[in-house]
Amino acid sequence: MLDFSTIIPHERRPIFLVDAQIYRLYPELFSDNPCIRISAEENRKSWDTAGGIIADLVEIGADRDAFLIGVGGGMVTDLCGFVASVFKRGVEFAFVPTTLLAMVDASVGGKNGVNWGIYKNVVGTFTQPTKIVRDLEFLRTLPEREFYSGLAEMLKVFMLFDEASYHRTVRMFAGRPDPQLVLEREWTAFAELVERAVALKEKVVREDEREKDMRRLLNFGHTVGHALEMLEARGTWSHGEAVACGIAVILKLSTRYGLSEGVLEGLLSDLRSLGYATEFRTRVDRLMVAIRHDKKKFAMDQVRVVFLRDLGWPCIEEISLKQMEEMLYDLH
């Protein structure tokens, strides 16, 4: 498995920020260096946890030569990037993403941060890691539900920019097989899809790191998805499950912006065959409270929403919150 010595720059002091579960599963990886363990629950991606990590760094005697290595899912990479960008006015850091979601999405693009109460990613910075090392071997221990959570983000990027990879991914996972069986059978083909998803996100980020234009497209399904992540089933949906349903909702609304009924039915049927919910139960008025707080709101009563005119053909529309609410009521 991974050899961390290849990641650590010369004359830097490595300090690991590790998902506690990864530490339990792969203890041999962390025997030689200081290691701060983080329990990966979304409500712990907080200001307090970041403060606790900073207290640990001070205790360890970390200085500006510290090199933080975040090993874990998006929860750990978001926290690691944030702490590294503020500790001692910024120290270098690297990511070793261990979930599919972190490999294709959370580790790419330099956004990091913590939640504020129930509101996601309210505090954060844009800071790029020195290095990202993706080792798909970590996926061998990833629970099925987490795997499919990450797959939703891969599908999102393919729906937006790469129709062929979208269809390949759907074919590979239709019927929601055990991901380990698919990995066994189609390791190379799957690795290519992961690389492709990363390359597509990297390209968008290169063109628009600060989310002024192109990068906004990556929010496809997220305005509704984030609201569902907070509220649906008392907040028990994973990020990817909520995003998949958010995408389904936006696809249904996309028929008003040119998506044909035929393509819509095909895409919804794909999502269902991969085991994602395409309906939600949360009351629309409650969803709207969450959407009003979402960061994609850009004026007092307006939101920017990404719709799909066809596979590989997204568009951004500025609509009023009132319009959004009416459209959601129409669906419910």
Reference 17, options 100, 106, 81; nearest CA is 81
Among 37, 168, 215, 239, binds ligand NAD (CB under 6 A): 239
Binding to ligand NAD in span 29-88, by CB under 6 A: 40, 42, 45, 72-76, 78
CB 17 within 8 A of CB 76: yes
- DSSP letter, residue 65: T
Binding to ligand NAD in span 151-190, by CB under 6 A: none
Letters for 123-142 (x = contact with ligand NAD by CB under 6 A, - = none) are: ---------------x--xx
| Using rule CB under 6 A, residue 228 touches ligand NAD | no
- DSSP letter, residue 299: E
- 3-state SS assignment for residue 263: helix
Backbone dihedral angles phi then psi of residue 12, each to the nearest 5 degrees: -115, 150
Least CB distance from residue 60 to ligand NAD, whole Å?
A: 22
Least CB distance from residue 270 to ligand NAD, whole Å?
A: 21
Look at phi and psi of residue 110 and say left if phi exceeds 0, alpha if psi is from -120 to 50, else beta: left
Nearer to ligand NAD, 140 or 167 (CB): 140
Letters for 83-122 (x = contact with ligand NAD by CB under 6 A, - = none) are: ---------------xx-xx--xx--x-xx-------xx-
Q: Cα dist. 160→109, 200, 220, 264, 293 in Å? A: 17, 10, 8, 14, 25
User: Any catalytic annotation for residue 215?
Assistant: yes
User: Any catalytic annotation for residue 297?
Assistant: no
User: Any catalytic annotation for residue 226?
Assistant: yes
d(CA 85, CA 28): 28
Look at phi and psi of residue 276 and say left if phi exceeds 0, alpha if psi is from -120 to 50, else beta: beta
Active-site residue list: 89, 111, 153, 201, 211, 215, 219, 222, 226, 239
Q: Which residues bind ligand NAD (CB under 6 A)?
A: 19, 21-22, 25, 40, 42, 45, 72-76, 78, 98-99, 101-102, 105-106, 109, 111-112, 120-121, 138, 141-142, 146, 149, 239
